[in-house]
């Protein structure tokens, strides 16, 4: 599980599709003391991760970090960059209209309270901390019908300019309205809608990192498990919905997949055709010989 996670991280960060300095929110914040070189001289003493945490006064229970959305002004929205990767289509159950996916989720957002001068800490650029120490977006998936049983990722990555990153693996059981009348030549499209559970779009805005064509291309590379179902493509829509009397930002992924009908043809249709053929052949044998019964 971990090696594939790192692989995905490499793809996302190395593929030049995701660039920290391009994030408007992070650029907008003034970085006055960041490159003051006179501090480099006496940086010998502050080189451990704990020194950074001490500087930020970040502990497991610091209320500043864990209680509320980390913005300096309540009217500024938190921009959450989201990316999903599909590792496998584990199961598609037409009977109870659900499908089971194994996915990897990456989220990043800004934290206005976190900032340190990397030169004062021996060039330390990021620290990994337990997830409960910091506020996180309350991501939910509308179609999800079963809670994921795997424990959530225990760590967050905190970078010196206030970017927080979360990576998580999930086994998703979600509903999907399926049409089965073309069986076994059917193509199914299923939606996964990501949004916040309680925050409105003034507070949290979601943005997809990869667009549909990039995401489709990338999913074909990382997909490990495809047995009965063949992944075709995925589309991404960012939209605003209003179902709880306030507007919420949402990202809808539509996953299109095709049944490998050859499995059914080989295991199911061909044997039936064969016996049907034999049965028809039996009509050609004349009744008088008395061999028809034996043949049948």
Ligand X SMILES: *[C@@H]1O[C@H](CO)[C@@H](O)[C@H](O)[C@H]1NC(C)=O
Positions touching ligand X (CB under 6 A) are 16-17, 19, 21-22, 42, 45-46, 51, 55, 177, 187, 191, 211-214, 232-233, 235, 237, 240-243, 246-247, 252, 254, 256
Please state whether beta strands 78-93 and 204-208 pair in parallel, antiparallel, or not at all (unpaired). Answer: parallel
Residue 169 vs 216, nearer CB to ligand X: 216
Q: What are the tokens at 83? A: 């990316």
Least separation in angstroms between residue 125's CB and ligand X is 14
DSSP letter string over 142-182? TTEEE---SPPP-EEEEETTSEEEEEEEEEEEEE-----TT
- Tell how many helices (H) and how many strands (E) occur in the chain: 8, 12
Least separation in angstroms between residue 239's CB and ligand X is 6
Least separation in angstroms between residue 187's CB and ligand X is 5
Residue 179 vs 276, nearer CB to ligand X: 179
Angstrom CA distances, 156 to 101, 109, 195, stand at 24, 11, 20
Q: What's CA 296's distance to the chain center, in Å?
A: 56
Residue 60 vs 237, nearer CB to ligand X: 237
Least separation in angstroms between residue 137's CB and ligand X is 19
Residue 213 vs 291, nearer CB to ligand X: 213
Least separation in angstroms between residue 270's CB and ligand X is 25
Least separation in angstroms between residue 246's CB and ligand X is 5
C-alpha closest to that of 188 among 142, 154, 234, 153: 234
Residue 119 vs 167, nearer CB to ligand X: 119
Q: What are the tokens at 58? A: 């970040």
C-alpha closest to that of 188 among 174, 171, 169: 174
C-alpha closest to that of 110 among 23, 174, 36, 229: 23
Angle, CA of 83, 170 and 127, to the nearest 5°: 65
Least separation in angstroms between residue 183's CB and ligand X is 16
Residue closest to ligand X when measured from CB atoms: 45
Q: What are the tokens at 285? A: 């044998």
Nearest-angstrom CA–CA distance, 113 and 127: 15
Residue 66 vs 254, nearer CB to ligand X: 254
Residue 185 vs 246, nearer CB to ligand X: 246
């Amino acid at each position: 599980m971990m090696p594939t996670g790192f692989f995905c991280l490499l793809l996302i960060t190395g593929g030049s599709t995701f660039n920290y300095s391009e994030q408007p929110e992070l650029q907008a914040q003034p970085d006055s003391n960041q490159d003051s070189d006179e501090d480099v001289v006496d940086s010998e003493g502050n080189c451990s991760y704990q020194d950074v945490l001490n500087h930020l006064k970040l502990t497991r229970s610091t209320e500043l970090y864990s209680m509320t959305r980390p913005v300096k002004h309540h009217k500024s929205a938190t921009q959450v960059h989201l990316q999903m990767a599909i590792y496998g289509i584990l199961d598609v159950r037409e009977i109870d209209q659900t499908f089971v996916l194994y996915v990897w989720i990456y989220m990043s957002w800004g934290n206005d309270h976190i900032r340190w001068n990397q030169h004062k800490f021996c060039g330390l650029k990021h620290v990994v901390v337990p997830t409960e120490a910091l506020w996180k977006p309350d991501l939910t998936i509308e179609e999800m019908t079963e809670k994921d049983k795997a424990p959530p990722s225990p760590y967050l990555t905190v970078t010196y300019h206030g970017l927080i990153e979360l990576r998580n693996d999930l086994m998703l059981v979600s509903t999907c309205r399926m049409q089965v009348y073309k069986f076994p030549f059917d193509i199914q499209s299923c939606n996964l809608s990501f949004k916040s559970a309680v925050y409105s779009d003034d507070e949290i805005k979601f943005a997809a990192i990869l667009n549909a064509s990039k995401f489709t291309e990338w999913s074909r590379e990382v997909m490990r498990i495809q047995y009965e179902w063949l992944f075709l493509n995925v589309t991404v829509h960012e939209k605003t919905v209003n179902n709880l009397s306030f507007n919420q930002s949402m990202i809808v992924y539509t996953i299109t997949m095709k049944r490998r009908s050859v499995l059914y043809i080989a295991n199911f249709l061909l044997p039936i055709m064969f016996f049907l053929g034999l049965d028809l052949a039996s009509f050609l044998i004349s009744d008088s010989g008395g061999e028809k019964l034996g043949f049948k």
